[in-house]
Amino acid sequence: MKIGVVGTGYVGLVSGTCFAEFGIDVICVDKDAGKIERLKNGIIPIYEPGLEDLVAKQVKAGRLHFTTNLAEAMEGADAVFIAVGTPPSVIDGQADLTYVFEAAKEIAQNIKGYTVIVNKSTVPVGTARRVTDVIRAANPNADFDVVSNPEFLREGAAIDDFMRPDRVVVGTTSERARAVMRELYRPLYINETPMVMTTPESSEIIKYASNAFLAVKITFINEIANLCEAVDGNVQDVAKGMGLDGRIGSKFLHAGPGYGGSCFPKDTLALVQIGEQHKAPQTIVQTVVDVNNARQKSMADRVIAACGGSVKDKKIAVLGIAFKPNTDDIREAPSLVIIPELQSAGAKIAATDPVAMDNAKKVLNNVEWCEDAYATIKDADAVVIVTEWNEFRGLNMDKVADLVKTKCIIDLRNIYKLPEMEERGFHYVSIGRPALIDGKAASKIRAA
């Protein structure tokens, strides 16, 4: 089989490369000639573990090609994937579909035989129908079907997510298109990966509802963490106790500084907009958006409190800028809220991140950028762990104790054990876990 993939961003490049790994002939197309040239030379525009090697392998095998010419990508293709960006509109937060419709028009002009047009971009409900109308208007004689096929890839784990997904969702009412989709996902189909065959509308909702539900889950456990802090509970134990209930599940119950990234913040806002537009208010999701925004901001207060009420002229070492590990993506990262808040409270910031520093330098000012964790924490009044990179999980605490000015660690990802840190004499503040003093919960001592 042969497919074209329009857009060599995160979704397009990962999907195209993985389809090539499935044995399909893939041509990825992008308008950005420089990007295509770099891809042809093996230079990958995003950081995603394993992607560079897989692209090289598939290019070498002759199954993965790059071009700026859509007609070439569509020549003999069974399906064309639309994987262009849908950034939130600056006006109302709704997904901006300009690139999707532009791609649809161009595709329309190049349809020869029966072609399945697959929407992989995250798009509002009704977009598959609108794309159908755009194509029909541009090329009334075209023989085609439009399918909604949302992606559920996580940055940093995208290849594994594509190769071993929990499910594949295919939204179309055309049996002919379903057959093509089954064939494209044949290796997964054989592996008995569940395939949800549904309408385009349901498929489009599944994408938003899944991301929004995960955002709800995270925000829920974050609020439970606040309660744990107030009553000496331990949120990790609570999450474990809840998660073992098969109806709840243990994933996405890690309390932290609030979710970020290019998906949850964008998709929760878009779902709220879609609900408003269709007079089906998404009140829970709206609340989650508000609670999450407030949470990211409140993390700075936590640091200030740990520093005795003021960070004025203090050196705060920030470990981790990316919104999560294994990515250089800093979009909507908690660090981008916490650092400016601390700066406006008078703190001097030193920071590091294993791969996101180049991106961070473009948006954060007056930060002393350091090569690694140890260089960052030198003479620090407090160390804040914002992203749970492996590099920060196994720090030599003797060395840390020697380097810092004050033994104060604010661990926003709960990657260290509380009693151990306190035994070592650190003032250690984490999330949803009570501080211990001589093995007793701090609040109990306060109350006594």
Which of 260, 320, 340, 354 is the binder for ligand UGA (CB under 6 A)? Answer: 260
Nearer to ligand UGA, 77 or 412 (CB): 412
Q: Which of 18, 28, 228, 263 is catalytic?
A: 263
The site string for ligand UGA over 193-212 (x = CB under 6 A, - otherwise) reads ------------------x-
* Candidate ranges 65-73, 261-269, 286-294, 402-410; the one touching ligand UGA (CB under 6 A): 261-269
Contact 173, 129 (CB under 8 A): no
Integer CA distances (angstroms), 241 to 238, 305, 441, in order: 5, 30, 20
Q: Is the dihedral of CA 299, 303, 309, 310 positive or negative?
A: negative
- Closest to ligand UGA by CB, 185 or 323: 323
Distance CA 237, CA 225 (A): 11
Residue 173 in tokens = 């009412």
Burial 84-120 (b: 16+ CB within 10 A, else e): bbbebeeeebbbebebbbebbebbbebbeeebbbbbb
Nearest CA to 17 out of 71, 67, 56, 43 is that of 56
Q: How many residues in the chain?
A: 448
Looking at beta carbons only, is 85 or 233 nearer to ligand UGA? 85
Amino acid making up residue 240: K
Cα–Cα distance measured from residue 70 to residue 120, given in angstroms and rounded to the nearest whole number: 17
Q: Which is nearer to ligand UGA, 217 or 315 (CB)?
A: 217
Choose between 108 and 431: whose C-beta lies nearer to ligand UGA.
431
Q: Least distance to ligand UGA from the beta carbon of 235, Å? A: 11
Residue entry with tokens 């929004």: 212
Tell me which stretch binds ligand UGA (CB under 6 A): 15-23, 40-48, 256-264, 419-427. Answer: 256-264
Q: Closest approach of Cβ 162 to ligand UGA, in Å?
A: 10
Non-local (6+) Cβ contacts of 31 within 8 A are 68
Question: What gap in Å lies between CA 242 and CA 147, rounded to an integer?
Answer: 37
* Closest CB to ligand UGA among residues 167, 440: 167
Q: Candidates 126-134, 165-173, 249-257, 271-279: pick the segment binding ligand UGA (CB under 6 A).
A: 249-257
Query: Is 18 among the catalytic positions?
Result: no
Least separation in angstroms between residue 144's CB and ligand UGA is 26
List the structure tokens of 27: 């041509």
Applying CB under 6 A, among 7, 165, 261, 354 the residue interacting with ligand UGA is: 261
Q: Which is nearer to ligand UGA, 289 or 380 (CB)?
A: 289
The CB-of-385 to ligand UGA minimum distance in angstroms stands at 12
Query: Using the rule CB under 6 A, is 321 a contact of ligand UGA?
Result: no
Fill in the DSSP letter of residue 88.
B
Smallest separation, CB 447 to ligand UGA (Å):
31
- The answer to whether residue 254 forms part of the interface with ligand UGA (CB under 6 A) is yes
Contact between 265 and ligand UGA per CB under 6 A: no
259 binds ligand UGA (CB under 6 A): yes
223-228: list long-range contacts, CB under 8 Å, 24+ apart.
223/291, 224/255, 224/432, 225/255, 225/431, 225/432, 226/432, 228/432, 228/433, 228/434
Measuring CA to CA, which residue among 276, 283, 360 is closest to residue 318?
Answer: 360
Considering only residues 142 to 161 of the shown chain, the ones binding ligand UGA according to CB under 6 A are 151-155
Q: Which of residues 111-130 bind ligand UGA (CB under 6 A)?
A: 122
Q: Could you tell me how many residues of this chain bind ligand UGA (CB under 6 A)?
A: 20
Residue 257 CB, shortest distance to ligand UGA, in Å, is: 7
Among 20, 83, 117, 253, binds ligand UGA (CB under 6 A): 253
Could you say which of 124, 171, 256, 320 contacts ligand UGA (CB under 6 A)?
Answer: 256
Site for ligand UGA in 325-354 (CB under 6 A): none
59 near ligand UGA (CB under 6 A): no
Tell me how far apart the 2 most distant CA atoms of the chain are, in Å. Answer: 81
Q: How far is CA 177 from its chain centroid? A: 30
Minimal distance, residue 3 CB to ligand UGA, in Å = 20
Measured from the CB atom, the residue of 30 and 155 that comes closer to ligand UGA is: 155
Encode burial over 210-242: b for 16+ CB neighbours within 10 A, e otherwise: bbbebbbbbbbbbebbeebbeebbbbbebbeeb
Residues near ligand UGA (CB under 6 A): 122, 151-155, 211, 214, 218, 252-254, 256, 259-261, 263-264, 323-324
Catalytic machinery residues: 263
